Structure 1
Amino acid sequence: MAETLAAAIDRVGSAVDLLRNAQARPTIFPVTAEFSNWRSEQLSWRRSVALLDQSHHMTDLFITGPDALRLLSDTGVNSVQSFAVDKAKQFIAVNHEGYLIGDAILFFLAENEFDLVGHQMVIDWVQFHGETGDYDVTFQRDGNSIVRDGDPALYRYELQGPNALALMEAVTGAPVPPTRFFHMATFTIDGVQVRSLRHGMAGQPGFELFGPWEQGERVRDALLRHGEKFDLVRVGSKAYSSANLESAWVPSPLPAIFSGHDTDRYRRWLPAASAGSLAGSLASERIEDYYVTPYDLGYGRSVAFDHEFIGRAALEAHAANPQRQKVTLVWSPDDVAAAQRSMLEPGTPAKYIDFPKARYGLYQVDRVLVGGVDVGISHDAGYITNEQVFASLASIDNAHAAPGTQVEVVWGEEPNSAKPAVEPHRQVRIRATVEPAPYSRFARENYRSDAS
């Protein structure tokens, strides 16, 4: 029988020690790393049209039954009052203390039929409550290609960029009907029915296409064939893993499952292999110091207090006095170069900064300082070719979140942890400037611009 998370924490002695020294390798997208090079591939979703294969790196949880919507309402902060077939939303869950469990995309496929798609953190949480609560629901889980045997249930392709709309009209042979952000439509591509979610990344037009796996190759070939005249670029895992930096989405904040009311039952249910790994310069022994609220990550617009849900009372208190907000930190070119240059100099170097994404654990949590005092945490960090900056997404105290504020990011671990991706290194401080999130003005002004 697989070890549970509760048993693993008892064996190691603390949740922080378990996560900081986890032997799991950093999360990878199990698709081709680069079709050309990640720099040109990043440019494509801003300049022409990018084709990204989402079929392999996410988990699908298909939820069916008469109580499916009630389960989602009870576990999610989102309103379901106007939720209907052919709509989708960013589903967000918190624990009883109002701290974030995680987020995923929720598709309303048919009456009493939903697909929750994303990283496993929030998917595990919903499945646990569905299986242990009084709900008439059934689950069909399709893990990502790292853990699954065989092919995925669905193919999932994403088209993004200024030429995406023209390509869709060419490949379907008809005008694309107006579709609001996060609403779905059905198209025919090469004789195959394809469902599409109106999506966006970095403020550009986008479509997420999905259907039965066995039809995926036919759909992909049609996109490639028609895409030639629209400068279609296939995007590999390196560029794709960095796309969130432009849209300012934090993909894997540490889930608040390691303490709090009624989470002990969950830790006894959850396999230890699902715990993940913790990286970064924040080295508190108090696990709560790694938690974030939805407001820390800019999710306030998705919170609706029109229904009862796990954590509602606590979240209302957070909403009344949010302490932090999401920003972009643009790192000093000189300090990034100095950290990299240290690998070519005598002595212990700085922690290696990988390009285009520098995350070396599932949960990246680095200290952010002003005048030597902690003022927040930095999450994902990486290089944005379209802006020619190295940047990270961060949750910063309100008093220091104004654009132009100068901060320092503490990069590297002290002491060095035992994670496989951690080499002997020394900590360094990297100067950074607070900027809006998303950093790109085009993305800020156009992302969700037609949402209802």
Structure 2
Amino acid sequence: MPESVSEAIARVGSPVELLRNSQARPTIFPVTPEFSNWRSEQLAWRDSVALLDQSHHMTDLFISGPDALRLLSDTGVNSFANFRVDNAKQFVAVNHEGYLIGDAILFNLAENSFDLVGWFMVLDWVQFIGESGDYDVTFERDANSLMRQPGENPKLYRYELQGPNALALMEKVTGAPVPPTKFFHMASFTIDGIEVRSLRHGMAGQPGFELFGPWKDGESVRSAIISAGEEFDLVLVGSKAYSSANLESAWVPSPLPAIFSGEGTDEYLEWLPAGRAGSLAGSFTSDNIEDYYLTPYDLGYDRNISFDHDFIGRAALERHASARRRTKVTLVWNADDVDAAQRTLLEPGLPAKYIDFPKARYGVYQVDRVLSGGEDVGISHDAGYITGEQVFASLASVDAEHAEPGTEVTVVWGEHPNSTKPVVEAHRQVEIRATVYPAPYSSFARENYRTNQV
């Protein structure tokens, strides 16, 4: 039997020790890194149209059975009152104490049939609750290609078309007008004689479609899109650019899940394989794992929360709602300070932690200190470069009094002491000045991301 998270924690002494010194290899997206270069590819979803392959890096958890919707309602903070077939939603789950487990995209595929897609954190939690509770449900997991058996293909292909030319390209490749479809609603199309399901989506704040269907049809659909896309300046986007798209839509992909303490977590950690514990990186350090926990409000998930039903953590989440204190923002890092940090690699002495481009995250859970006047006022999550804005930025949760755009803060970059993660070289901490901006940073994304348009 593989080691459980509970056994791994007992072996090393604490959850923080396990996560901070995880020996797991760096997380990668197992698709082509760059088809041209990540800078031009980033610009494609803003200036023309981008084709991104999501088939390999996400996990699908197919949930079916007469109690499937009840399970999702019991574990999700979202309302399910009008959740019909061909609808989707950003599913958010919390633990019994109201702290965030994670989020994923939930597709309502057919009556009593759902697909929960995303990082494994929230998928694992939902499956555990379903298997350990009184639910008549079945689960089928299609792991991402890093966890899949060699030679085994995904169950579904999943492609993303994003950008101002996405609608015109869809009408060309389908040979018909695209019917009006609300944000996060689905429709079906025919491409090269193949029925394709589509989710109206806006991954980077631009118009877009997420296309999916059986794996055997994937290459034909992709080839048809590429052929039709020539006149619309279609750009193939690799994993480097794709991994940074969330910085523009202001989605934090992997906050540390609140699974290491609280009601019911002992049993869960015994069930969960140690390989899915994740890794912790960044300048924020505490021996208390609960100091890393977030509420959904810290990440701007207010719109997802509905108290129209009972769910795990509801009472605690209501208390968090009345005591909320942090706001999600974008931090634009000072160009001179980023330059100075990188320049230490070319100077004598111990350098700063290498800042990778376009994405600088070096753990599954990136948690860096945000300071004002030398005092901690929040944490910085994902960080990276946005070509279209020519800025290096991070997504952050900061105290409300420091969340006003234009506020000056400081991000502490690097670890002290250095952890033993494989991606961490010997380095010293540096402070980088940053300015608070709205999240999303792009005005187009802020104003258009969730409009009810095709």
TM-score band, normalised by shorter chain = over 0.9
Contact 2:27 2:364 in 1 (8 A): yes
Match of 2:374 in 1: 372
2:158 and 2:137 map into 1 onto residues whose CA distance is 25
Match of 1:198 in 2: 200
State the alpha-carbon separation in 2 of the partners of residues 449 and 50 from structure 1: 20
In the TM superposition, what are the counterparts of 1:136-215 in structure 2 within 5 Å?
Answer: 136-149=136-149, 150-215=152-217
Partner of 1:308: 310
Matched, 1:326 2:328: yes
CA distance in 2 between counterparts of 1:25 and 1:334 reads 32
1:11 aligns with 2:11: yes
CA distance in 2, matches of 1:45, 1:261: 43
Distance of 1:391 and 1:224 partners within structure 2:
32
Q: Deviations over 1:218-260 (max 9, x none)?
A: 0000000000000000000000000000000000000000011
Matched residue count: 452
- TM-score scaled by structure 1? 0.99
SS state at 2:284 partner: coil
Partner of 1:388: 390
Cα deviation per residue 1:255-314 (whole Å; 9 max; x = unaligned)?
Answer: 000011111110010001000000000111110111110000000110000000000000
**Aligned-pair Cα RMSD in Å:** 0.8
Deviations 1:119-152 (A, max 9, x none): 0000000000111100000000000000112000
Shift of 1:203: 2.5
Quote the residue 1:38 is aligned against: 38
- Where does residue 245 of structure 1 map in the other structure? 247
Asked if the contact 1:202–1:440 (Cα under 8 Å) also holds between the matched residues in 2, the reply is no
Structure 2 CA distance, aligned partners of 1:88 and 1:202?
Answer: 17
**Alpha-carbon distance between aligned partners in 2 of 1:417 and 1:389, rounded to the nearest angstrom:** 28
**Amino acid aligned to 1:117:** V
Partner in structure 2 of residue 67 of structure 1:
67
Query: In 1, are the aligned partners of 2:4 and 2:274 still within 8 Å (CA)?
Result: yes
Question: What's the secondary structure of 2:207's corresponding residue?
Answer: strand
Partner residue, 1:50: 50
Structure 2 CA distance for aligned equivalents of residues 181 and 74 of structure 1: 24
> Could you list the per-position Cα deviations for residues 381-439 of structure 1 after superposition, in whole angstroms to 9, with x for gaps in the alignment?
00000100000000000011000000000000000000000000000000000000000
Q: How does 1:214-253 map to 2 (within 5 A)?
A: 214-253=216-255
- Supply the AA of the counterpart residue of 1:342: T
SS where residue 356 of structure 1 aligns?
coil
- 5 Å-filtered alignment, 1:107-122, equals 107-122=107-122
**Corresponding residue of 1:343:** 345
SS in 2 for 1:170: helix
* TM-aligned CA deviation for residue 323 of structure 1: 1.0
Gaps of 5+ in 2: none
In structure 1, the residue corresponding to 2:393 is in which secondary structure?
strand
Provide the identity percentage: 78
1:74 and 1:201 map into 2 onto residues whose CA distance is: 27
**Secondary structure, counterpart of 1:442 in structure 2:** helix
Q: Distance in 2 between matches of 1:153 and 1:408?
A: 45
Is 2:435 the counterpart of 1:450? Answer: no
Letter aligned with residue 293 of structure 1: T
Q: Secondary structure at the match of 2:172?
A: helix
Give yes or no for contact 1:202–1:442 (8 Å, CA) kept in 2.
no
Alignment of structure 1 residues 236-275 onto 2, 5 Å? 236-275=238-277
Distance 1:198 1:20 in 2: 38
How far apart in 2 are the matches of 1:374 and 1:303? 28
Q: Distance in 1 between matches of 2:196 and 2:248?
A: 27
Cα offset, 1:158, TM superposition: 0.3
Q: Say which SS state the counterpart of residue 71 (structure 1) adopts.
A: helix
* 2:90/2:103 contact within 8 Å kept: yes
Output the CA distance in 1 between the equivalents of 2:242 and 2:339. 24
Provide the rounded CA distance (Å) in 1 between the counterparts of 2:444 and 2:323: 30
Following the alignment from structure 1 to structure 2, what is the Cα–Cα distance between the partners of residues 127 and 172?
37
Query: The residue matched to 1:322 in structure 2 has which SS?
Result: coil
SS in 2 for 1:282: coil
Instruction: Find the counterpart in structure 1 of residue 77 from structure 2.
Output: 77
8 Å CA contact retained: 2:164, 2:207: yes
2:267 alignment partner, SS class: helix
Q: CA deviation at 1:451?
A: 8.0
- Measured in 2, the distance between the counterparts of 1:11 and 1:238 equals 35
Instruction: Give the residue type in structure 1 aligned to 2:24.
Output: A
Q: Whole-Å Cα distance in 2 between the matches of residues 450 and 291 of structure 1?
A: 33
- Alpha-carbon deviation of 1:26? 2.2
Q: Which amino acid in the other structure matches residue 68 of structure 1? A: A
Alpha-carbon distance between aligned partners in 2 of 1:206 and 1:266, rounded to the nearest angstrom: 37
What is the match of residue 429 of structure 1? Answer: 431
Larger mean Cα displacement after TM superposition, 195-204 or 421-430? 195-204
Q: Which SS does the other structure have where 1:204 is aligned?
A: coil
Query: Structure 1, unaligned stretches of length 5 or more?
Result: none
CA separation of 1:451/1:264 partners in 2, compared to 1, >3 Å: closer, same or farther?
farther
Question: Which residue in 1 is equivalent to 2:131?
Answer: 131
SS at match of 2:297: helix
What's the secondary structure of 1:167's corresponding residue? helix
Per-residue deviation, 1:201: 2.7
Query: What is the aligned partner in structure 2 of residue 276 from structure 1?
Result: 278
- SS for the counterpart of 1:233 is strand
Paired position in structure 1 for 2:359:
357
TM-score (norm 2): 0.99
**1:261 alignment partner, SS class:** coil
- What are the superposed Cα offsets for residues 82-104 of structure 1, whole Å, 9 maximum, x if unpaired? 00000000000000111000000
Using the TM superposition, give the Cα deviation of residue 202 of structure 1 relative to its aligned residue in structure 2, in angstroms: 3.1
Deviation above 4 Å: which 4+ runs of structure 1? Answer: none
Cα shift at 1:63:
0.4
Q: CA deviation at 1:27?
A: 1.2
Q: One-letter code of the match for 2:434?
A: A
Separation in 1, partners of 2:380, 2:36: 30
CA contact (8 A) 2:180 2:453 kept: no
